[in-house]
Amino acid sequence: MNESNESPVYGENGELVKVGSDLKHIAFIMDGNGRWAKMRGKRRDYGHTEGAKAFERIVEYCGKIGIRVMTVYAFSTENWKRPKEEVDKIMLLLEKYLDKLLAKVSQYDIKVKFIGDKIPLSEKLKKKIALAEKETKNKGRLLNIALNYGSRAEITEAVNKLIKRGIGRVTEKDISDALYTAGEPDPDLIIRTAGEQRLSNFLMWQAAYSEFYFTDVLWPDMTDKDVEKAINNYYKRTRRYGGLA
Ligand code: IPE
Ligand code: IPE
Ligand code: MG
């Protein structure tokens, strides 16, 4: 069979074993950590700690089922409005994840890439990001971590880059190629947890023809089965891209 039109593979009990070639990129808006903690009478921090575990679980599952590109929204350009302790906690959890990835780099087939403006990040985190990106650059599947990411900032920056280059007129391709995600397939499926049905400044350009899936599950509770359910739902849809089915 031609690699470019592989179908999904299911196991004996109907479980998803491998996705097809029409599902290359899944993006996650990991939402609901705060509510998850609050429901348990705990501080929001605790929700982020549990959210980080869910993140690792879902990264592993997406690898297992053959997702080639995964993007997670970890921190938006607007999330600086939160209390400093909460921001510090999120940054610390990311550092810990990078430490783990770097310590076991040979065991993971993950090429990590941070999308977003790195300038305001701490020097320590910036160094770890640079090292992790370097150490994993030849790995197979791509994990984009959107950190201090905002779609409007990304598009504005892309246009400024093109102006600086002296371009007189821009094409859609010029813009796509100037985004953080240059050369990557657009997300086929965008999953948002915790019941909110909005993009919150995430991948607005890239999401032009993405399928959306919203679930009430709070991010720390997200399991393989929940992702499988979203994918099964994705496979029931017809993507027309403006044409006819
Ligand atoms: C995690 O969920 C997403 C981040 C911004 C890190 P939230 O922290 O937004 O959780 P809720 O929406 O307040 O429940
Ligand atoms: C979006 O979630 C950002 C991330 C998941 C990192 P928010 O919780 O910040 O979004 P809003 O404020 O509900 O739109
Ligand atoms: Mg939220």
Give CA–CA dist 143/62, Å, rounded.
10
For residue 167, CA distances in Å to 145, 162, 242 come to 30, 6, 30
Q: Is 31 a catalytic residue?
A: yes
Question: Taking a C-beta distance cutoff of 8 angstroms, is the pair 19, 67 a contact?
Answer: yes
Q: Is 45 a catalytic residue?
A: no
Ordered by where they begin, the domains of the chain are 21-234 (3.40.1180.10)
Q: State the closest ligand 2 atom to the C-alpha of 75, by its place in the atom list counted from 1.
A: 6
Q: What is the pLDDT of residue 1?
A: 42
Global pTM reads 0.97
Q: What is the pLDDT of residue 62?
A: 98
Q: State the closest ligand 2 atom to the C-alpha of 200, by its place in the atom list counted from 1.
A: 14
Torsion sign (Cα): 118, 96, 85, 123: negative
Ligand 1 environment, Cβ below 6 A: 30-35, 51, 75, 79, 90, 194, 219
The tens digit of pLDDT for each residue in 95-151 reads 999 999 999 999 999 999 999 999 999 999 999 999 999 999 999 999 999 999 999
Exactly one of 22, 79, 174, 201 is catalytic; which is it? 79
Distance 212 CA to ligand 2 centre (A): 16
Residue of the CA atom closest to atom 9 of ligand 2: 79
For residue 181, CA distances in Å to 74, 187, 227 come to 16, 10, 23
Q: What is the pLDDT of residue 245?
A: 80
Distance 158 CA to ligand 2 centre (A): 23
Q: State the closest ligand 2 atom to the C-alpha of 149, by its place in the atom list counted from 1.
A: 6
Tens place of pLDDT per residue across the chain (245 aa):
445 678 999 999 999 999 999 999 999 999 999 999 999 999 999 999 999 999 999 999 999 999 999 999 999 999 999 999 999 999 999 999 999 999 999 999 999 999 999 999 999 999 999 999 999 999 999 999 999 999 999 999 999 999 999 999 999 999 999 999 999 999 999 999 999 999 999 999 999 999 999 999 999 999 999 999 999 999 999 999 999 98
Give CA–CA dist 209/20, Å, rounded.
18
Is the CB of 31 inside a 6 Å radius of any atom of ligand 2?
yes
